[in-house]
Amino acid sequence: MDEKRAHEFCAKAWDDSIIAELEAYIRIPALSPHFDANWKENGHLEAAVTHIYDWCAARKIEGLSVEVVRIGERTPVIFMEVPAFNGGSNDRTVLLYGHLDKQPEMEGWDADKGPWKPVRIGEKLYGRGGADDGYAAYASLTAIEAVQEQGVKHDRCVILIEACEESGSYDLPAYLEHLQPRIGSPKLVVCLDSGCGDYDHLWTTTSLRGLVGGTLRVEVMEPTEDGSPSGVHSGDGSGIVPSTFRVLRRLLERVENTETGEILLKEFHAEIPEQRVEQANKAAEILGDQVWQKFPLKKGMAPVATAGEAVLNRTWRPFLEVVGTDSPSLKGGNVVKGSNAWKLSIRCPPTVDAEAASAALTTALEANPPYGASVTFEAEQAASGWNAPALAPWLGETLELASQAHFGTPAAYMGEGGTIPFMGMLGEMYPEAQFAITGVLGPASNAHGPNEFLHLTCGKRVTACMASVLATFATLPSV
Tens digits of residue pLDDT in 62-93:
999 999 999 999 999 999 999 999 999 999 99
User: Would you state the pLDDT for residue 53?
Assistant: 98
Q: What is the pLDDT of residue 36?
A: 98
Cβ atoms of 193 and 420 closer than 8 Å? yes
Residue 422 vs residues 1, 37, 165, 323: alpha-carbon distances, Å: 31, 22, 8, 23
Mean pLDDT, the chain, whole residue set: 95
- The residue ranges of every structural domain in the chain are 3-208+385-473, 210-272+317-379
Residue 390 confidence (pLDDT):
87
Give the integer Cα–Cα distance in Å for 71 and 388: 30
Q: What is the model's pLDDT at position 284?
A: 95
pLDDT (mean) for 46-74: 98
- In CATH, which of 1.10.1240.10, 3.30.70.360, 3.30.300.30, 3.40.50.10420 is domain 210-272+317-379? 3.30.70.360
Name every residue whose Cβ is closer than 8 Å to that of residue 323 and which is 6 or more positions away in sequence.
Answer: 213, 343, 344, 345
| Residue 259: predicted pLDDT | 95
Report how far apart, in Å, the C-alpha atoms of 52 and of each of 115, 134, 154 are: 19, 9, 23
10 Å CB burial of residue 34 (0-12, 13-18, 19+) is middle
> Do residues 279 and 413 touch, judged by C-beta distance below 8 A?
yes
Flag whether pLDDT at 225 surpasses 90: no
Task: Answer whether 461's CB lies under 8 Å from 202's CB.
Answer: yes
Task: Please name every residue paired with 85 in a beta bridge, in sequence order, or none if there are none.
Answer: 154
Q: Residue 6, Cβ neighbours under 10 Å: how many?
A: 26
Interatomic CA distance for residues 150 and 5, integer angstroms: 8
Asked whether the predicted pLDDT for residue 401 surpasses 90, the reply is: yes
pLDDT of residue 229: 82
- pLDDT > 90: percent of the chain: 90
pLDDT confidence tier of residue 109, bands split at 50, 70 and 90: very high
User: What angle (nearest 5°) sits at the alpha carbon of residue 259, between those of residues 257 and 263?
Assistant: 25
Read off the pLDDT of each residue in 233-245 and give the average, rounded to a whole number: 94
pLDDT of residue 329: 75
pLDDT of residue 333: 82
pLDDT score recorded for residue 327: 82
Say if residue 462's pLDDT is above 80. yes
pTM of the model: 0.86
Mean pLDDT, range 144-154, rounded to an integer: 98
CATH of domain 3-208+385-473: 3.40.630.10
Residues 214-234 have a mean pLDDT of 92
Residue 331, pLDDT > 80, answer: no
Q: Given this model, what pLDDT does residue 80 score?
A: 98
Q: What is the per-residue pLDDT for 422? A: 78
Q: What is the model's pLDDT at position 332?
A: 75
Q: State the pLDDT confidence band at 449, using cuts at 50, 70 and 90.
A: very high
Give residue 290's Cα distance to chain centre: 21
